[in-house]
Structure 1
């Protein structure tokens, strides 16, 4: 089967909330008492703040991502001429089927259509599978933009310039 990308609908929100929290927890990203799981599960607010995309196979939602522009509520490190995506997650039961890469490519395509010069993202310093995916797609570290939203949560900034 083929993974396809489409905008999320409210009917998708419960599944997105569940697998996003599950994926982040399984990856070790929810350790500590910072309440990020509640922000991840608030899919409705994310959908209002940006463009929420889902990866679907046989009508099953496998993953999601939130695409945002600078100055919007969920933008963290994007500046003028840059797009950003956040909260990329694939259901742990569906990982390894290409949904994550398809979602990233959809964000890159959307950014290009909007005339953005680059796409930026943050990734946890220990999240090796995510870092491998982003490196394979051409993202490079921008260490001067690394930051920490909570004590003990270190985020590495990555950037991919878009060409013509």
Structure 2
């Protein structure tokens, strides 16, 4: 059995790989193709790293399994955050690593950073069709913030969620990937 994946800040030399991981994760959902203008933003991890912190989950061989972009208050990358809130965006897990609790580990790492930095809430917006992600957020204790729902482009509805650090439900920051999978309801046929 391999060791539990670790979450850490992305290194400069892996930003291209982080960008490609993000693109591949979004394309795997089947809701966009490479011609979508958003693919350029997803691929630009180096650009995001100038204005936000990029976290990665890596296995015991340092292979990247997932990533998330953490926006401090006032970051030009923020979309729905207000003063005193930390926002995360572009949570992405490689198709091969899905169902292993990586999204939960990354989300918990964001909540840990928010608590360390004294943020009063963590917020995000998610496409309305990302049901597996919504189940994860709900199981972790996030609440809907419908007053912050928005449409970045016609035909794309984003719905907002928020959670105060310290309000995390479930097993807390010591969770293993397996615990995150059980708590998130992300079990697939191969995981059961």
TM-score range, shorter chain: over 0.9
In 1: Cα distance, 2:77 partner to 2:116 partner:
20
Q: Which residue of 2 aligns with 1:76?
A: 79
Contact 2:20/2:43 (CA < 8 Å) preserved in 1?
A: yes
Provide TM-score, normalisation by structure 2: 0.81
Q: Which residue of 2 aligns with 1:135?
A: 138
Q: Which residue of 1 aligns with 2:127?
A: 124
Q: How does 1:5-24 map to 2 (within 5 A)?
A: 5-24=7-26
Q: How does 1:3-152 map to 2 (within 5 A)?
A: 3-30=5-32, 34-58=36-60, 59-152=62-155
| Cα pair distance change 1:63/1:32, threshold 3 Å | closer
SS of 1:65's equivalent?
Answer: strand
Provide TM-score, normalisation by structure 1: 0.94
Deviation at 1:163, TM superposition (A): 3.5
Contact 1:12/1:61 (CA < 8 Å) preserved in 2?
A: no
Deviation at 1:71, TM superposition (A): 1.8
In 2: Cα distance, 1:63 partner to 1:73 partner:
23
Pick aligned residue for 2:157 from 122, 131, 154:
154
Work out the number of aligned pairs and report it: 164
SS of 1:75's equivalent?
Answer: coil
The structure 1 segments of at least 4 consecutive aligned residues displaced by more than 3 Å after TM superposition are 31-34
Runs of at least 5 residues in structure 1 that lack an aligned partner in the other structure:
none
- Normalized per residue, which structure has more strand? 1
Q: Could you report, residue by residue, the CA deviation over 1:89-127 in whole angstroms, capped at 9, with x for unpaired residues?
A: 011111112211111000000001110111000011111
In 2: Cα distance, 1:56 partner to 1:29 partner:
26
Rg larger in 1 or in 2? 2
| Cα pair distance change 1:110/1:82, threshold 3 Å | same
Contact 1:69/1:78 (CA < 8 Å) preserved in 2?
A: no
Runs of at least 5 residues in structure 2 that lack an aligned partner in the other structure:
168-192
